[in-house]
Structure 1
Amino acid sequence: MNLFHPKQIDAVVCDYEMPGMSGGELAASIKRRSRKIPVILVSGCQSVIDTIPHMVDAAFPKGTPVAELVNRIRVLLASRRSVSQGFSRFIPLGSVLASVALGAFLIPKLWK
């Protein structure tokens, strides 16, 4: 959580089971700081996927195709962009998601 600063992060993708803090706890902590930051959770447990959507902006089972995750992130960011001022730089989300080990990662700020 020390890395999290709402003005520098566009979205968070995390696993539900992480050392020290669950994905649900992380989502709650992020939403307390900024409800605008989309949180996308990934879990290998279907019951988590079924019960956690009220805490996150999207939930996916592990093994979901990267293209599906990228599309959902783009939709979430586009809804935020409609009230923002536009992109300042581009990040290839597919390559980020494809190369990240399980756990949590932050998507850097894409617009001013």
Structure 2
Amino acid sequence: MTESRLVLCVDDETVGLQVRKLLLERSGYRVLTAQDGAGGIEVFEREPVEAVVLDYSMPGMDGGQVASKMREVKPQVPILLLSAYVGLPSDVTSLVNLYMTKGEGPDMLLKKLGDLLKTVPVPENQTS
């Protein structure tokens, strides 16, 4: 099903991050987390991440800045941007594969993440 795909979640809200991690793990994903943009970029560079769930509104670096840096490092990795805000500017949404609001809920998050990962080949050295 999800072949234990490795997903990175970046969000400065601890509770939201923990809930998202639990939701994804219960759905069969392996999940790494970071609580800020700089930490997210560090994990992204170091680990074989297959997709990113990225919060937009964070102190320091916002999701757009983080996505821009991630695109420089591994442009092929899909990024799903999550935000409480509707109507982010196109210069931000153009950096990511999908954008959704947090209000769309966990079922929609799982669906969109699953759809994104269908476009990414499973690494050959990965066993399920």
**Residue of structure 2 in register with 1:33 after alignment:** 73
Q: Kindly indicate whether the alpha-carbon contact (under 8 Å) linking 1:10 and 1:38 is maintained by their aligned counterparts in 2.
A: yes
1:80 aligns with 2:123: no
Select the structure with the greater relative contact order (CA < 8 A; seq sep ≥ 6): 1
Structure 2 CA distance, aligned partners of 1:36 and 1:26?
A: 15
Find 1:9's aligned residue among 40, 49, 72.
49
1:55 aligns with 2:95: yes
Cα offset for 1:85? 3.5
What stretches of structure 1 move > 6 A for 4+ residues in a row? none
Structure 1: unaligned runs, 5 residues or longer = 90-112
Find 1:64's aligned residue among 104, 108, 111.
104
Cα offset for 1:21? 0.5
Structure 1 length-normalised TM: 0.67
Structure 2: unaligned runs, 5 residues or longer = 1-40
Render the CA deviation track for 1:65-112: whole Å, top value 9, x for unaligned.
211111111111111127x538524xxxxxxxxxxxxxxxxxxxxxxx
Structure 1 CA distance, aligned partners of 2:117 and 2:111?
A: 10
Q: How many residues align?
A: 87
Q: Matched residues, percent identical?
A: 25
Q: 1:86 to 1:64 in 2, by over 3 A?
A: farther
- Cα RMSD for the two superposed structures: 2.1
